[in-house]
Chains A and B, each alone.
Chain A
Amino acid sequence: MEIHELTLTEVQDLLDRGELSGTDLVEGLYTRIDAVEDKVQAFLELDRERALAEAKEAGKAQIAREADPGPRAGVPVAVKDNVCTMGWKTTCASRILFNFRPPYDATVVARLRQQGHTVLGKTNMDEFAMGSSTEHSAFHPTRNPWDLTRVPGGSSGGSAAAVAAGEALFALGSDTGGSIRLPAAFCGVVGLKPTYGRVSRYGLVAYASSLDQIGPITRTVADCALALGWIAGHDPLDSTSLAAEVPDYRTFLRPEVRGLRIGLPKEYFGEGLDPEVRGAVEKAVQQLEEGGAAVLEVSLPHTEYALAAYYLIAPAEASSNLARYDGVRYGFRGEGSDIVELYSDTRRRGFGDEVKRRIMLGTYALSAGYYDAYYLNALRVRTLIRRDFEAAFQKVDVLACPTSPTVAFRLGERTDDPMQMYLSDIYTVPVNLAGLPALSVPCGLNHEGLPIGLQLIGPPLSEGRLLQVGYAYEERRGPFPRPQL
């Protein structure tokens, strides 16, 4: 038995039975990392010794509370590099934070540590989570484990690729416009974007604060339920976090969909959708129908404006969130004979092109004279999109659709065409604008052997229901293949 072939759920079992320790897991995963990381390049920071030391420390703390019959912990988690981790660099894959070591843990990381889990390493991403391919990392691209000439999706490409490649059992991603779900779909793994406010954003380096949300990337839906339970919950340090009680998400893992109403938003099956992707998603929906779910078509009429609204709201917030990187206090510092030159040189050389493009877009959208036409109108569209979903959820329990219109594209294929790149997120972006939870589950391979993702969208705080539908689908689908590396 190789550790990298286990699921998180199986590992939890072995931990509980005392047949495995956190250090075993670190050793096992680093053995796998040694074998495949050269090809995949999912990580920005790996440190076997640090990971082992963390696992040992956590193990000691567990032994100290041996009398406590609670579940054992000790899972080393791969953490996206925009989530603050004490002891590990947090660069956001940007030159401007190339050496930044935060003096604090993000709430999600602190929670994981409190439960006895540790950090395995930091994963690659598009710089500041801006991108859909992880090619916008300032350090190196990550490759799709299913085809090393293709992108893993983004921006949490490192996290998804690490899980797909067996380098991690569970990785944290962040999703602002699809950054968990898209790479999960491209890499054939499970990714959940929770309801806005379900998981604390404290310690998540902000891209677009009103859209950002941390979530788990795992190999199976059951693993996702387990991981979500570890990180979800109210955080007094995040004013936008929700107070609602966190259920035990594993209790939703029943292969039962009888009576469930599934809506197919017609706008998500239109032009630009790859026929093979459509076929796989329709087949998945059919399997759920066979299980007793009712399937009906619904409409989300404002979908066509979602991408435009997103590319005003997200850059607007980003232009403000990223203004603090000025070379004065931490990170990369450029040169200049006065403060204005210092700012300019720091930001000119510290940020990549895509980040600069979005900062300029956002600055423009917020400028006097343009604010009403761009930012305010985008907010109005956002409200309309939220209402579209509210109306749809009057009729159905969940929505099913593709996660992305295509499978993973080739490295370099879209880097010169931002518009083409942005279209990868056309089915994921509306969910963030509405603050809803959504799950991506692998639902097949295309003729080239590339994974396709099924996206399930629910009303606020319906994570349990999404996991239930995802689990029921998984049971009908059967085990998903692994990439050959």
Chain B
Amino acid sequence: MEVENGPGWEIVIGLEIHVELLTRSKVFCSCATGFGGEPNTRVCPVCLGLPGSLPVLNAKALEYAVKTGLALNCEIASFSKFDRKNYFYPDLPKAYQISQYDLPLCRHGYLEIEAGGVRRRIGITRVHLEEETGKSLHAGTSIVDSPFTLLDYNRAGIPLVEIVTEPDIRSPEEARVFLEELKRVVEFAGVSDVKMEEGSLRCDANISVRPRGASRLGTKTEVKNMNSFRAVQRALEYEAARQIATLRAGGRVVQETRHWDDAAGVTRGMRSKEQAQDYRYFPEPDLVPIVLSPEQIEQWRRELPELPAARRERLAREYGLPAYDAAILTASKKLADFFEEAARAFPDPKMVSNWVMGELLRLLKAENKELDQVPLQPSDLVGLLSLVRDGVISGATAKEVFEEMFHTGDPAASIVDRRGLRQISDEGALREIVRRAMAANPDAVQSYRQGKEKALGALVGAVMKETRGKANPQLVNRLLLEALREAKP
């Protein structure tokens, strides 16, 4: 379908995001969290919902949920409570999810983003705490037509925050940018590691379109099953275009839930059997209400680490970096931490920034790895840059060394020594080699003197050949020029 959301139409998007919190134990029992593991090994009577078991709130999960709200500029409720959301599904062992309904922990927040050069403030309606479900593994495509389904409850009971935005987002691109910034915020706040591929961040979207200038919102659809930020943007682009085309053709948008099919690049309406669910929310009688003192909330606010927007600003200011560099370096907390640790130990922050944004990101991308999956440490980069600065190795050699460091985590100096890459910067020795090179290449000397400056290259090449590339190139240049000048008849 042709994307056609020209100036005549306005797109209105609201997002509903679920983020797994990074606590060591689950939200209502003491089972370990963590991705993977043998199925059904991190379970107990509570997270399996066995008869008679009762939930007990994990204080850390509460703290992380509140910190999420604080990081999103929310008001924190001094009194909130849990409710049961009732529905049947095999991965929901109690047939209800402990969630929050009318009194969520956090409300009325916002997150500022910059998309297409425009700064915008997206409202956060609410943030609440709830429990994760288990995982169903269908032998077929869905539970309806599978010959059998396997269930893994390791994930059941991992703490989850649900973040709901106001319908403030105006384009699919903005939705993607919002998610990227949100991911950074929760990561910087230290409450989640937000790995979308492991399902620790999931996003559903409500989207509608209306003729520009119209005051009433159009009929919305809910889009689900988007498994990457890119998928969110693509799905919403498709869905906006579909709705506009429908309306243009005189049709009506049907309020429904639609599944994004990433391979086909389309959204599809779900079987009409899946009617609006009545979850029969009611207060969870097994848990007492959450009462938070202003002192406790302030304490958590003070503990909140520096968030991405503040860090971007500070990196630019403190290290004299261009805004572009600061934005890239704060793409993740790990990257920003890496940069800062190196920049603090090296006098030229821009040089550090160039290497982090250049070689480091290039290799991470090429190998599809996360920063914490490689042995390279900031101190390794500092060691390497010091060798370059001191003229021990050339920039070209440094790239080779960096690649080895990236894979092995060995210090730059030992790689340089082991591979014999140390530059020859001894003037006396190089002067002798330069003399021999000129003697062996009289034609080149002749050409240079006749004004062919290019001939210098051949002489440099000869020196490099003899030193097996280890000669300090700046020094070789200078010595050659001096020698050529002196030897002038």
A→B interface (CB under 8 Å): 82-84, 90, 92, 97, 100, 102-104, 106, 201-206, 208-210, 236-240, 316-317, 319-320, 323-324, 326, 328-330, 338-339, 343, 363, 366-368, 371, 375
Contact = CB atoms under 8 A, between A and B. Distances in A.
A326 B51 contact: no
B88 A326 contact: yes
Interface string B66-98: 000000000000000000101010100111100
Interface residues of B, number: 31
Contacts of B288: 239-240
Nearest to B44: A104
Interface SS majority for chain B: loop
15 contacts: A90-B51, A90-B52, A100-B51, A102-B50, A104-B53, A106-B52, A239-B287, A320-B282, A326-B90, A329-B48, A339-B144, A366-B86, A366-B280, A366-B282, A375-B282
Contact of B93 (A209, A324, A371): A324
A323 B149 CA distance: 20
A237 B49 contact: no
B86 A320 contact: yes
Which of the listed residues B45, B144, B281 has the most CB atoms from chain A within 10 Å of its own CB?
Answer: B45
A84 B56 contact: no
Given A206-B52, A329-B48, A316 B282 contact: yes
A209 B285 contact: yes
Contact of B280 (A102, A104, A320): A320
B304 interface: no
Interface in B250-292: 278, 280-282, 285-288
A90 B50 CA distance: 11
Contact of A367 (B48, B51, B57, B278): B278
B201 to A, nearest CB: 28
B46 to A, nearest CB: 8
A326 B278 contact: no
B143 interface: yes
Interface in B19-72: 45, 48-57
A267 B49 CA distance: 41
B151 interface: yes
A18 B86 CA distance: 54
A324 B287 CA distance: 18
A343 B88 contact: yes
B53 A328 contact: no
Contacts of B53: 104, 202-203
A209 B96 contact: no
Interface hub of B52, B88, B281, B286 (most chain A Cβ within 10 A): B52
Nearest to A92: B51
Interface in B431-463: none
Nearest to A339: B143
Contacts of B96: 320, 323
Select the residue from B53, B88, B280, B287 with max chain A CB neighbours within 10 A: B280
Contact of A323 (B48, B94, B278): B94
Interface in B323-344: none
Given A202-B53, A324-B49, A363 B280 contact: yes
Contacts of B144: 338-339
B52 A202 contact: yes
Interface in B272-320: 278, 280-282, 285-288
Contacts of A363: 280
Given A316-B282, A320-B84, A366-B282, A239 B55 contact: yes
Contact of A236 (B48, B56, B280, B282): B56
Question: Which of B56, B86, B282 is most buried by chain A, counting CB atoms within 10 A of its CB?
Answer: B282
